Each structure stands twice: as structure tokens, then as C-alpha cells.
Structure 1
Amino acid sequence: MSFFPTEDRGGTTIVTLTNGERNTLHPALLEEGIAAFQALADNPPPHGVVLTGAGEHFTCGMDTKIAAALDKAGQKQAAAAIDAFAASLHRLPCAFVVALNGNTIGAGGIMALAADWIVAAQGDYKIGLPEAKAGLPFPPVPQAILDHWLDPVWRRRLALSSHLLNPVEALSAGLADELASPGQLLEQAVATAGELAAQPGFKACKRQLRAKANAEIDAILKG
């Protein structure tokens, strides 16, 4: 079974992160995600991409049990996979909307910030970047995404305190762009992706907006 099943909805590709109850991330999942999003970048859907999570969570971040069992070589491989996966999201040339359906922790926050637009479902769940609390400093590509797309004040507050936000607070912090009722989340995200993609200059403006960040990410990946 795929960790990233897809569905076409009127020219928008919906990608659903699917891995157990908490949608945690691990190296094999990340490698599949890299390939999946590279394929979407090579053949962009006309009305963009929407990424969401299966069940009650978007993602609760890295699978800590798998991470703890990795030797040094495995840790290095996992860090490289995180960098490449985050880069594959950030490099999508088409409209890219993230639909937060539940808890969005750690790497999930980076995945959201890599998008053009973040739609968060209303509800009692948390969004944040608790890497400091987990003892997991940000890898270079996620750090670059943070540096470019999160307000410096909120970057300091969230990265150093590990404080988690509810969806309304995330809207104020820049970790969400709009709220949706849970039942309308995907419909609203698909509509937003279509609206972004319909603009004649969208791709060119996105390319301009991301040029500096993508150049920095390219340099990181080249080592």
C-alpha cells in the first residue's frame, strides 16, 4: 500500500499522507514521497496539488521509535531524506495547497510552510515546531524553509519554546492562511488550488518568489 495515495479531482491532484493512526514519517515513507512529488513536478496537474493527511492527524512528525533505532549511517540517511522530501514539496512548480486536517507537529509544520497556501480545519488540535523539546534540531532544508516563510518573531517563539498552537492561533502566526469547517476542508483546499492556478501569471510569480529559497536549497543538497 502506498504512503501517498492520490486522487484526481477535476484537474487537482489530492495526495493523502497515510501511515497508521498518527501519520508519522520514516525513511522509507520519505523516499516514496520524494519520488511521488518529483513525478508531480515533472507533470504538474493543471489545477494544482492538495496535500492532506488520512484520519485525524495531518502528521505527528518523525516516528520516534524508528528514529531511535537508527545507527549513525541510518541517521545520516534519514536526515538526507528529510531534506530531499522538504525540497520536493518546495520545488513544486504548480499551485500547492496543504489541507491541515488535524495535529501538525514538527516536520508537518515544515511541510505546511513549503506550500503556497495553508487551509486548516477548525477544531481542537495542535500545530507547531517542537523540535527543541524532542531534541531534534532542524535539518538544513527545513531550516531554510523556516527562514524564508515564517515571520522572524514567530520563528523565534515557536522554534525555541516548542509551543503548540491551535488553528486560530496558527492563523495569526502564519502557520495557516485560512480556516475551514472539517467537512468542507478538502473542497475548500481544492477550490483554492484551482483559483491560484487559474491566474495567468501564477507560475511565473511563484518561480520569482521562490528563486532565492530554491537556490539556497539547491546549494544545501549539493553539499
Structure 2
Amino acid sequence: MALIEIVNATGPVAGLRLNRPEKKNAVTMELLEELVAACGALAAEPGLRAVVLSGAGGDFSAGMDTAVLMGFAGQLDAIKAEMLAPEGDANRFQQPAKALADLPVPVIAAINGVCFGAGIQLALAADFRIAAPGAKLSIMEGKWGLIPDMGISLSLPRLMPADRAKALIMTAKVMSGEEALAEGLVTRVADDPHAAAMGFAEELAARSPDAVRASKALVDALWSNRTAEGLRLEAELQAALMGAPNQVETVMARMQGREPEYK
């Protein structure tokens, strides 16, 4: 079963769907690789006008699969080395967000259910986000003693002031769709986000494709924080945290249902 489904690949409006509904579309490395490949395939489609990004089964994404995170525990040195020495500007954790952001056409994320951690970083890479009022969104890495490091430097600085970004990252606050709208993380709310996203995509597809692509390129250039330095900083800070005593204590406390005891 494909972990990323491409819907209507050759049409003017294509869909990209995270497809692990039994796991609330929790992210695995295979899913991320498929997403990068799917973005590459869509970027080559001459008739493409817009992309709708969504999750199967009523949730956008629960974030990185905990089984994947646990699997990293025994190979931290190798993971850190890979993070810090990517092939190109982005490491393999950052490549999916960069691939979404680099699509030349508008990308609209339709957010239902949960949208946590790695999931919200993928959604933030889209040009627009439409969320259900009752959706739950969180930059959740802080709950595991980590920071968001999957391309958030490409998106968050354009969306909100530094103080509010720090608060969301430090507290890992879980927000409703309405609260995320007030924070500036989503573009608007709708009872049926996917239908609203498709409607908006079709509206954009009816415009001059040259003008729409140029509009995206213009705004991205004017508001850009898309630098290799930002992606490098994500990797360096995360590598320093991974496996450090306080990060291990954070994980153990969460797994054991107790309050952490930090040094």
C-alpha cells in the first residue's frame, strides 16, 4: 500500500494524501521518502495548477511514529551524523517540507483531526492551511525534550511574531483550529476542510497559471527565510538535544506517566 497517494496526478488540481489511516497518518521515513518523490513527480506535470495536501481517515497526521523514534535510540550517532551532513541543503527529515514548499504551484493543506509534530511541519510548508474548527494542532516536539527540526525554519518566521512562535514551541500547546487561526498558523477554518481546499484550488486553477506561479514566486521571495543556514541550525540544535540526559529523562517520564526530574 502506498503511504502517499497522488490523486488526479495529471489534472489541474492534484491531491497528495498521507495514507496510514490506521496510525492517524503517523510519519515514517518511508512515508517521507514517498512524499519527496511524489512532489518531484507533480512538479514535472505541465498541466498542474494547484495541490491539495490531506490525510486519510479523518486525521491529518499524529506526527512522527513513536516506533520510528524508539528505533533511533540505538543509532543516535549515525542519525546525528546524517542530520549534520546532508546531501544538499536539507537532510532527509527536512526534505519533504522543502519539496512541498518548492512546488511551483499553490499547495493547500486540508487539516482534520490531529495535526501534531512532523505533521504540522508538513502542513506549514503548504502555502495555505484550511482547518476544521475542532482540529487539534501542536508543534509538539517539546513534549519529548526536542525542537521542531523538519523544515520549520522555512515556514514559521513568515507566519507569526517571534514571541508567539517561542511560546508554541516551548509549551507544545495543543490548539483547536480556531485557536490556530488566531495564532496565524492556519489561513481559515471550515467545517469540511477538504471540500473548502478543493474549492479554493479550483478557483486558483481557473486563473492564469503564469500569474499564479509568478505570484507564489514573488511572495516567497519577499517573505523568504528559505536559507541553508536555517536548516543547518535546526539540525545542529536538534543533534545536541538528542540523547542528552534531560531529553532522555523527558522521554522516560512521559513513558512512565510521571513528572520529569531535570538536572
TM-score interval (norm. to shorter): 0.7 to 0.9
What is the DSSP-based 3-state SS (H/G/I as helix, E as strand, rest coil) of the residue aligned with 2:189? strand
Residues 67 and 75 in structure 1, CA contact (< 8 A), matched pair in contact too: no
Aligned pairs for 1:1-223 within 5 A: 1-8=1-8, 11-19=12-20, 20-43=22-45, 45-70=47-72, 71-72=75-76, 73-74=78-79, 77=82, 80-123=91-134, 125-139=135-149, 141-182=151-192, 185-200=193-208, 201-211=211-221, 213=224, 215-217=226-228, 220=231
Counterpart of 2:241 in structure 1 is none
| Cα contact 1:95–1:197 (8 A) shared by 2 | no
Letter in 2 for 1:210: D
Secondary structure (helix, strand or coil) at the match of 2:93 reads: helix
Letter in 2 for 1:40: L
Larger radius of gyration: 2
> Which is further off, 42-51 or 109-118?
42-51
* TM-aligned CA deviation for residue 147 of structure 1: 2.1
Distance 1:13 1:85, change over 3 A: same
State TM-score, norm by structure 2: 0.74
How many residue pairs are counted as aligned between the two chains? Answer: 219
SS in 2 for 1:5: strand
Deviations 1:171-190 (A, max 9, x none): 111121122223xx322111
Q: Report the Cα distance in structure 1 between the residues aligned to 2:15 and 2:95, rounded to whole angstroms.
A: 21
Which runs of 5 or more residues in structure 1 are unaligned? none
- Assess if the C-alpha contact under 8 Å between 2:117 and 2:138 holds in 1: yes
**Counterpart position of 2:254:** none
Give the whole-Å Cα distance in 2 for the aligned partners of 1:44 and 1:94.
Answer: 11
Deviation at 1:16, TM superposition (A): 1.1
212-221 vs 64-73, greater mean Cα deviation: 212-221
Conserved? CA contact 1:13–1:45, under 8 Å: no
Contact preservation (8 Å) 1:113, 1:145: yes
> How well do the aligned residues superpose, as a CA RMSD in angstroms?
2.5
Aligned-pair CA distance for 1:141: 2.7
In the superposition, the TM-score normalised over structure 1's length comes to 0.87
